[in-house]
Structure 1
């Protein structure tokens, strides 16, 4: 076998600067993700930033993390020294993300021409997620490892805060609409604000812990799974809880039988499993005595009119002509009919809401682009279990307005997938031989000099 000599080493060249994420861009990305996961609308209200509401400046309807992501992305283009080459490189590496971004910009233009509202929602929901995926396309292993640790720490703090709020019945940062907190809603708000937003991201993170997060030891993974499962109960999301329970158990049973067939179950692992099986009924009984499941039972008994709202939103479609539904009815008329029919809290399906406010054409474009964006995101996570959080994510998206209105959940979900299902990035070294540089993909996750 022939080995490369010193001359071959001298012929290697470093990856171009535009194909790397610089030091300042890495720090900015980490800071933006920290703000994304830790700063809710209730927390912003305390500093006079009315994020969740209609009153106030239009600039406050965009989350601070989105501003940070946009600034960091623009800086990464400038710092590369060749914004055109970096742009082409990112477009070729993440084509579905580019399509989602282009469609979003087109929808923003159409909304402005129609004089409609909700521009901030489009920016927070889609633009932030797309630019975040672009930024992480060239992140090296050290950056991704730091980001993964940050995700685990933040989600652990979120779960602990949720449990503390459940025990004390004191919500530190409750969800507020125009500054008004809903005192009758006793569910935990934690760091993500709205209980259902907490339930969605916690359920997806929980599924990713079950089928992903390979570097974690079994003991740490088991502890995090137990903690997130407990937090999911106090958030009160019925669909999130049922979907996670059903799919998580199915996945666990399949993996257990697969391990038994391979004969790779260690004696210590079997002993721990038997011990947990014995303690589980005792733990459930103790939690029931403490009233841990009372709020959840109340949510299933009284849904606050959620089931009726789903029936009313279907009836709402029949109040408009086919032309209105294709091109989009008058938004003020939709708002009036929505309130008259008892849908003050919103239309609990993103696609029906989008048809009513944007029209079927825009809805179809966004749906196709978002579907391809999710498919690309799933392919970036090479681990086989990435389908588990994806299925839960899709189920939960259809249970509320979700991506049809303002939310930071797509960006958070992208972080969960990219961190816990670490993508196989091509060209893990910072050098390429001259002979291979012409045919190698332009994606080198390395460090910039500055």
Structure 2
């Protein structure tokens, strides 16, 4: 691969220069234009590497179709429906991930493993900053009004490297799931997972706490049923997990992490009620609006009429912005695209499940947080068949053009 330094720089910026860091360094761009809402710091490096290696990359059938729906629905939005084309969103969660994956395919194993180390370092730093912020009640990087963040000490939420707690929690939940089901040493997997789980309490996001708890139980049962582990290994693992859980819960209770768990997910809670309201709003739309979406002004009117500060649901936002037809096409093709990475089925499906659940409680796709690019690089660098000694002939052939 040509311009390997630029590719690694893109990875570094994507992981470590999140919205909080950009605000701290005064690198943010005001407004709602395509540049301000896209990954403007990292994307130029990715485009440079893609252009310099364009003769080596090959797009899959799913990738071609994803580019096609970007063109079709972009034109429909501008010409037919007289609304914004949504190009920043298309860039963030369709075009950028496709370019990234096409380049990862021609990257040598040595560099893929280096990127995996960068991901682990990012995970540890992201979680460490979150825990420190929540315990110290000090936001290190995000440029926000402290009173809006904390309210009372019991409602403290960490902002870590990537801005809003919801987006950070999405990234940590996703990486925790992939790490826990990877082929790392079992003690390292569970140690990193519990670090991530404590960080989720620091972000104080209830949905992530519940969902990631479910992922933990599924993985633990799978490891306990594994024939590859001897009885004494399983005994040691159980003892290790009980010890970690005990000290983790003590730490969480001592430092008042996850205080929002005391409020149930019911209509009596403002945040939860907003999600119930969305269901009523969707049911009230006419068929044309559901199929092809509604104008931004209409979305704003609906939010004001229902006293909603934000629509914390990426799927509903996609339906509002581009319609049900686009949303179904995008989800189906992106599923096929991620499946083509080749991660083992257990890792892939547990990751897809938690991502889909979080997309329904999180507006991550409508932000500049690089959720899908980090999902792509995580699945690719942790995919088990890539790390085995016997590399497939196809991968060997591709790596000849790698760096």
Same fold (TM over 0.5): yes
Match of 2:9?
Answer: 31
TM-superposed deviation, 1:158: 1.1
Match of 2:398?
Answer: 444
Match of 1:411?
Answer: 373
Match of 1:15?
Answer: none
Q: How many residues align?
A: 396
Distance 1:48 1:285 in 2: 37
Question: TM-score with structure 2 length normalisation?
Answer: 0.85
1:201 aligns with 2:167: no
* Contact 1:328/1:360 (<8 A) preserved: yes
* Contact 1:124/1:406 (<8 A) preserved: yes
Match of 1:143?
Answer: 111
Distance 1:254 1:182 in 2: 39
- Aligned positions of 1:113-128 closer than 5 A: 113=79, 114-116=82-84, 118-128=86-96
Match of 1:315?
Answer: 280
* Contact 2:19/2:161 (<8 A) preserved: no
TM-superposed deviation, 1:246: 1.4
Q: Secondary structure at the match of 2:90?
A: helix
Distance 2:166 2:345 in 1: 28
Distance 1:62 1:388 in 2: 28
Distance 1:448 1:161 in 2: 35
CA displacement, residues 201-253 of structure 1 (integer Å, 9 cap, x when unaligned): 111211112111x2x33343333222222212211221112111112212212
Structure 2 gaps of 5+ residues are none
- Aligned positions of 1:123-272 closer than 5 A: 123-174=91-142, 182=149, 184=151, 186-212=156-182, 214=183, 216-259=184-227, 264-265=229-230, 267=232, 269-270=233-234, 272=236
Question: TM-score with structure 1 length normalisation?
Answer: 0.77
Distance 2:214 2:164 in 1: 24
- Aligned partner (choices 65, 79, 102) of residue 99 of structure 1: 65
- Aligned positions of 1:5-24 closer than 5 A: 21-22=1-2, 24=3
- Aligned partner (choices 34, 38, 45) of residue 62 of structure 1: 38
- Aligned partner (choices 24, 29, 51) of residue 74 of structure 1: 51
Structure 1 residues 180, 418: CA separation in 2 closer, same or farther (over 3 Å shift)? farther
TM-superposed deviation, 1:62: 1.7
- Aligned partner (choices 310, 326, 334) of residue 345 of structure 1: 310
Match of 1:41?
Answer: 19
Structure 1 residues 305, 289: CA separation in 2 closer, same or farther (over 3 Å shift)? closer
TM-superposed deviation, 1:108: 3.0
Match of 2:295?
Answer: 330
Distance 2:303 2:249 in 1: 44
TM-superposed deviation, 1:137: 1.0
* Contact 1:125/1:411 (<8 A) preserved: yes
Q: Which has the larger radius of gyration?
A: 1
* Contact 2:206/2:261 (<8 A) preserved: no
- What is the RMSD of the two structures over their aligned residues, measured on CA atoms? 3.3
TM-superposed deviation, 1:105: 3.5
Distance 2:213 2:346 in 1: 19
Distance 2:150 2:253 in 1: 25
Structure 1 gaps of 5+ residues are 1-20, 78-82, 433-439
Structure 1 residues 350, 288: CA separation in 2 closer, same or farther (over 3 Å shift)? closer
TM-superposed deviation, 1:134: 0.8
Distance 1:159 1:136 in 2: 26
* Contact 1:386/1:417 (<8 A) preserved: yes
CA displacement, residues 313-345 of structure 1 (integer Å, 9 cap, x when unaligned): 222234443233333333312211222112221
* Contact 2:169/2:205 (<8 A) preserved: yes
